[in-house]
Structure 1
Amino acid sequence: MNAADRISVLAGWAGAATLAFCLAASPTWAQPAGARPFSPPRDSSMPPGEAGAQIRLGQRLTNETARLLPGNVGNALNCSSCHLGAGKVAKASPFVGVWNDYPGYNPRAGRDVTLTERINGCFRRSMNGKPLPPDSREMRAMLAYMRWLSADVPRGDRTGRGIGKINKDLVPDPVRGKAVYAASCASCHGDDGQGRKRDGEFVFPPLWGPQSFNIGAGMARTYTAAAFVLHNMPIAHGLNAPLGQGGALSPQDAVDVAEYFTHQPRPDFPDRLKDWPKGGKPKDARD
């Protein structure tokens, strides 16, 4: 990662509204022998003119979602709260390559969905808000940004994608998780999980409560949250953490703390009862 891209990633984390759950993860993570490196395009490679302006707007909307789309975001989160570094960080739910996956089958919906539908699912669940009109300027910009990030990724290439893995046989202990939270998370996200602000805007987002993701969000699931925490949380290293310092917690720590914070009070999402209509509901999906 060059200096310009490093600055871009840090800006995406610490910018107008959110640092997501941690200060971590880097696109330069260990690759299997012979694998294609995870290498998001540089911001400097955005095209000129109207096309570039649309892509840049999409990136801004990713980093400043709550501020720029207050009518659609019902909490204090941004897209970059879960898609770190404006979707350019490996194992932090990157947007790099995501364009190639859609339309595609979504087990939670029980049908094929478009990328537009997937984005709006995040607005309804993670943002606890309202969907964007499919033909809106903002939706077109977000799609353009994701398409630009995916332009050089071969179809089917999953390098750096997702949030990493965790052993789902680990049994969570929320009492121990509360202690892990106090020791490793509260300094950024607050003793009460309500996040921390600077100059009136969230620098560290709320992990529960009315300004956090609702119960239907993927991050409300214990093992999903645990995988994200495990691979993206060098809280022990603080604000000066170098990129690529994931793994500050053990897998058991991550599962325990995820069980603790995901089961704290948060907004409901009644439509979750319609999820997985064809079966296969994960064991950590919320009832």
Structure 2
Amino acid sequence: MKWFTYLSGALLIAGSVAPAMAQSSGAVLTVPNEATLPKGPVGDAIKYGRALLSNTRRMLPNNVGNGLNCSSCHLSGGTVAYASPWVGLTGVFPEYRSRNGKLISLQERINDCFQRSMNGKPLAFDSTEMNAIMAYMKWLSTGVPTGTSVTGRGFEKIDASLNPDHARGAALYASQCAACHGSVGQGTTNPQGGYVFPPVWGPDSFNVGAGMARLYTAAAFIKHNMPLGRGGSLSAQEAVDLAWYVTQQPRPDYPARIHDWPKGGRPKDAR
């Protein structure tokens, strides 16, 4: 099962914004035509931001502490519904996040993912790289009314009352995932460097503070998007079983998680 994938170089998420549950909205998720890219410095920044999010590990080695790219979770460059798309995000931030317990900017949300999903270090808010990422997300959000989420933002909802079964999850991983992500979650390496299919646990995967390390967040992603090309073929129970097996495997720690949900409301699957 191809839980995550890299489609490097193409119009393709560490980057990494909001593995939150999907929200209802009145805006249709529409990806701008490539022909609408502006000329000059702004267009160059948009292209650079897209490249950074698709080849994050190679292009930002000082900020990424594992083997992932942002496009590992934000499929096809953040353009796929219910795969945490970036379309429309620039119009809904600043946004209150209960995990942070405060209103945060989109730059803060991006850095949250660099520190958690990428197990790395934040970008400077005024850096060329952060501005390029913001430019790409702004372009993706063309035509989405300010303050409106697109249909398919975040992940689809999944029944959080379902209880996982470890043995069933292990069997599902062996039959659906191991061919691409390895028998022990180590991923499939690329001879040119990095991963063709990234690791889903171990030292080169996301840390325990990442949204994808949570049972029902991971299950929601799996249910809608995996196996790659056959999203929706697993039942909700199978997705929960599989997510439990994967999320409970060893992965890097994130000590700062003890400060999450400072005002309460910690989800039952929080690590």
Answer yes or no: same fold by TM over 0.5.
yes
3-state SS of paired residue (2:173):
helix
Give the whole-Å Cα distance in 1 for the aligned partners of 2:132 and 2:155.
24
Q: Is the 8 A contact 2:187 2:199 kept in 1?
A: yes
Give the whole-Å Cα distance in 2 for the aligned partners of 1:39 and 1:133.
30
1:161 maps to which residue? 153
1:146 maps to which residue? 137
Post-superposition offset of 1:157: 3.4
Give the whole-Å Cα distance in 1 for the aligned partners of 2:55 and 2:203.
19
Structure 1 position 59 matched with structure 2 position 50:
yes
Q: Is the 8 A contact 1:15 1:203 kept in 2?
A: no
Matching residue within 213, 218, 221 for 2:206: 213
Post-superposition offset of 1:35: 6.0
Give the whole-Å Cα distance in 2 for the aligned partners of 1:136 and 1:36.
31
Give CA deviations for 1:234-261 in whole Å, capped at 9, x if unaligned: 35xxxxx4xxx31121111100010010
1:263 maps to which residue? 248
Post-superposition offset of 1:38: 2.2
Post-superposition offset of 1:16: 6.0
Matching residue within 175, 194, 217 for 1:224: 217
1:176 maps to which residue? 168
Paired-residue identity, %: 56
3-state SS of paired residue (1:105):
strand
Post-superposition offset of 1:94: 0.2
Normalised to the residue count of structure 2, the TM-score between the two structures is 0.89
Q: Which amino acid aligns with 1:203?
A: V
Matching residue within 63, 74, 85 for 1:94: 85
Matching residue within 183, 190, 193 for 1:191: 183
2:8 maps to which residue? 15
**Inter-CA distance 131–267: structure 2 relative to 1 (3 Å threshold):** same
Q: Is the 8 A contact 1:16 1:201 kept in 2?
A: no
Give the whole-Å Cα distance in 1 for the aligned partners of 2:183 and 2:9.
22
3-state SS of paired residue (1:108):
coil
Q: Is the 8 A contact 1:104 1:113 kept in 2?
A: yes
Give CA deviations for 1:154-198 in whole Å, capped at 9, x if unaligned: 232331211111111110112210111001011110101010023
**Inter-CA distance 108–35: structure 2 relative to 1 (3 Å threshold):** closer
2:259 maps to which residue? 274
Normalised to the residue count of structure 1, the TM-score between the two structures is 0.84
Deviates more, 1:276-285 or 1:245-254: 245-254
Give CA deviations for 1:6-30 in whole Å, capped at 9, x if unaligned: xxxxxx842269x98xxxxxxxxxx
Give the whole-Å Cα distance in 1 for the aligned partners of 2:178 and 2:126.
40
1:83 maps to which residue? 74
Post-superposition offset of 1:153: 0.8
Give the whole-Å Cα distance in 1 for the aligned partners of 2:128 and 2:141.
20
Q: Is the 8 A contact 2:27 2:144 kept in 1?
A: no
Q: Which amino acid aligns with 1:258?
A: A
Q: Which amino acid aligns with 2:196?
A: V
Q: Which amino acid aligns with 2:238?
A: D
Q: Over the residues paired in the alignment, what is the CA RMSD in angstroms?
A: 1.9
Greater helix fraction, Structure 1 or Structure 2: 1
Give the whole-Å Cα distance in 1 for the aligned partners of 2:43 and 2:132.
10
Give the whole-Å Cα distance in 2 for the aligned partners of 1:234 and 1:74.
26
Structure 1 position 247 matched with structure 2 position 214:
no
Matching residue within 82, 86, 101 for 1:110: 101
Q: Which amino acid aligns with 2:168?
A: R
Unmatched 5+ stretches in structure 2: 14-23
3-state SS of paired residue (2:195):
strand
3-state SS of paired residue (2:262):
coil
